[in-house]
Structure 1
Amino acid sequence: MAGKLTAAQGTGILLVTANVGSLFEDPDNLQKTWLREFYQTVQTHKPHFLAVHCQEVGGKNYEASMSHVDSFVKELLSSDAMKEYNRARVYLDENYKSQEHFTALGSFYFIHDSLKNVHQFDFKAKKFKKVVGKETYSETLEGTPSLEKEKFPQDYFPECKWSRKGFIRTRWALADCAFDLVNIHLFHDASNLVAWEKSPSVYSGTRQKALGYVLDRITDQRHEKLPYFVFGDFNFRLDSKQVIESLCSTATLQTVRAADTNEVDKLIFRESDNDRKVVLQLEKKLFNYVNQDVFRENNGTSLLEYDKELSVFKDRLHELEISFPPSYPYSEDSSQGKQYMNTRCPAWCDRILLSPSARDLALKPENEEKSIVYDNIGPNVCMGDHKPVFLSFRITAGAGKCCQRGEKIFREAPL
């Protein structure tokens, strides 16, 4: 698969983020397709180092899905497609009985047999250790020294008692440089009606607070500061108020209230003429817009102007240009690969973000532009309600301006 490394060729890195909740609701239909498309992506990009960050591992009913999780992990570790990856680390947060700790995050790391001297950081011992063999860590990850895991405090998102949102951080050293990889799952929009009330929405403020917390944690004084890649389900949404006003600019609004509480139950946007045809119907969990093509034409990029949640972090996080359609919420019907569900306004929830120094690693001037790809997986088939998103790039030798001294810390030189 991946050829022998040469200095000129560099080290191929593939980062993937995938909310896999749907796979455990309907494993017979969805898992085979998902794995086929995933292996195809690995085959195409031939990475030497592969990191897969999953959210919602086990789906909504973790207890019932445990056996499906085990078979999914076994398949990934033993499949023919991955046979040249002779080292692996798998971290599964399976501690679903602990409300205060459970995040349902899963982080998978695979190292090709041609890549020598890969080290992983031990956060307790505060030093790098050589990675050998394949190891899986599950259940209680709190005591695992090769990662840091936190669930967001309950008061960050009080309306959701069972929130599983949080992050897992690991630290790696390869090809003369070291970096952090952070698996993240931020808060969703609980109600379309609330999201529409103001711009930016209350939910966007909650996500901003949580992401700021993560960035502060991974750059605090406890450890050496290194380049970092944060990838996961950020749950970033388009600015609801603005996007609806744009989609329904000529429509008239009818408000339907619940008889018993007088609270707004439903918003109906109708065309002023044309038999007062319904353009959009909005409820707590319904976003039924008359023309889904707007989210698919030119990959929906005309709507990127309403994708604003990252702008607050523009000095701390960088993203490559998005040229794929909104990654959520796709139909979970296995025959509907390109259809969106009419539950939420489609949005780019699944992202791969880079710190300024990580961007410098991935976007070295000597790298050909075509060697960097930011895209989704399985565009034409059903992958569940989220399409996985990947970033493929190469690190050229010495790119990180880091040095290795045995198992001591790799230091990043000042940029």
Structure 2
Amino acid sequence: MPETTKAARLRRSQIDILLKEIESEGLKDDSVLVAGAFNAQLFETHLLSDMASTQRATSYARKSSDGRLEGIEQRDRRGRSVLTVETHRFDLHSIHDWFFRLGRGQMVKKYNGELAQVVFGGKLLEESVFFQPSRHYGINKATEKEEFMKNLCPAWADRVLYNEKLSDLFRHDSFCASGLYYGLVAEKKYVGQHKPVALHATICLK
């Protein structure tokens, strides 16, 4: 099980508060949709470990004079830096943008588990994520093209969740179920550091 960071525990507690509020407001039996910037992040420690293994890289820790960890660097067998992590840097160097876009992010999807206790616990539901991470994007000044920024690890920070009651309205027949869409808005256009995430569905009002 990937290590849970302090920030991840905070996000989970905030979602638990949200779920309790929904129940206390008497909305438990209503159709509920919750959307926004959950700021969910990848299990970065697990990702770093796997990157070192697959690239046969050696990890080096950089510490301050008082022993605090300041950064981690991975170098391949030729001594080339392939990954650098610091407080405000997450950089896969030459493969950074390619790696997180590959297969619309499916290479790193297995590290996308922060909301699992909500989604897989049946508290709220989510459509399958078949789109690339929603943050953080910027414009490369040299190429004038959009790419993933290297200040934070790209992640599916923005999500759309809903409860079982609303799911039933999405799927009242096969035609409506086939019309579901869950993905990015402006996938191929720069609209800011975060790309909005949209859920399109036909709802049957009974």
Does the 8 Å contact 2:170/2:176 carry over to 1? no
Partners of 1:340 and 1:217 lie apart in 2 by: 35
Specify the alignment match of 2:131 in structure 1: 324
Specify the alignment match of 2:63 in structure 1: 257
What is the identity, as a one-letter code, of the residue corresponding to 2:47?
V
Higher-RCO chain (CA-CA 8 Å, sequence separation at least 6):
2
Specify the alignment match of 2:155 in structure 1: 347
Q: 1:332 to 1:252 in 2, by over 3 A?
A: same
Does the 8 Å contact 2:88/2:152 carry over to 1? yes
Corresponding residue to 2:191 among 383, 386, 394: 383
Structure-to-structure mapping, 1:231-250, within 5 angstroms: 231-249=35-53, 250=56
Partners of 1:392 and 1:278 lie apart in 2 by: 42
2:96 matched to 1:288? no
Corresponding residue to 2:72 among 264, 267, 273: 267
Q: 1:289 to 1:365 in 2, by over 3 A?
A: same
Deviation at 1:333? 5.6
Deviation at 1:201? 1.8
Q: Deviations over 1:36-66 (max 9, x none)?
A: xxxxxxxxxxxxxxxxxxxxxxxxxxxxxxx
2:10 matched to 1:201? no
Partners of 1:297 and 1:219 lie apart in 2 by: 40
Does the 8 Å contact 1:201/1:240 carry over to 2? no
Deviation at 1:200? 2.0
Task: Please say which structure displays the higher CA radius of gyration.
Answer: 1
**RMSD of the TM alignment (CA)?**
1.7
What is the identity, as a one-letter code, of the residue corresponding to 1:353?
L
Structure-to-structure mapping, 1:60-209, within 5 angstroms: 199-209=3-13
Instruction: Indicate the percent of aligned positions where both proteins have the same amino acid.
Output: 24
Specify the alignment match of 1:14 in structure 2: none
What is the identity, as a one-letter code, of the residue corresponding to 2:145?
Q
TM-score (norm 2): 0.88
Partners of 1:356 and 1:295 lie apart in 2 by: 31
2:145 matched to 1:336? yes
Does the 8 Å contact 1:237/1:349 carry over to 2? yes
Q: Deviations over 1:334-382 (max 9, x none)?
A: 9433x00001111100110111111112222343444211110111121
Aligned residue-pair number: 196
Partners of 2:19 and 2:137 lie apart in 1 by: 29
Does the 8 Å contact 1:300/1:326 carry over to 2? yes
Deviation at 1:227? 1.6
TM-score (norm 1): 0.45
What is the identity, as a one-letter code, of the residue corresponding to 1:252?
T
What is the identity, as a one-letter code, of the residue corresponding to 2:135?
Y
Moved over 2 A (4+): 222-225, 332-337, 363-370
**Secondary structure in 2 matching 1:253:** strand
Partners of 1:299 and 1:355 lie apart in 2 by: 26
Does the 8 Å contact 1:236/1:348 carry over to 2? yes
**Secondary structure in 2 matching 1:218:** helix
Any gaps of 5 or more consecutive residues in structure 2? none
Q: Deviations over 1:80-104 (max 9, x none)?
A: xxxxxxxxxxxxxxxxxxxxxxxxx
- Of Structure 1 and Structure 2, the greater strand share is in 1
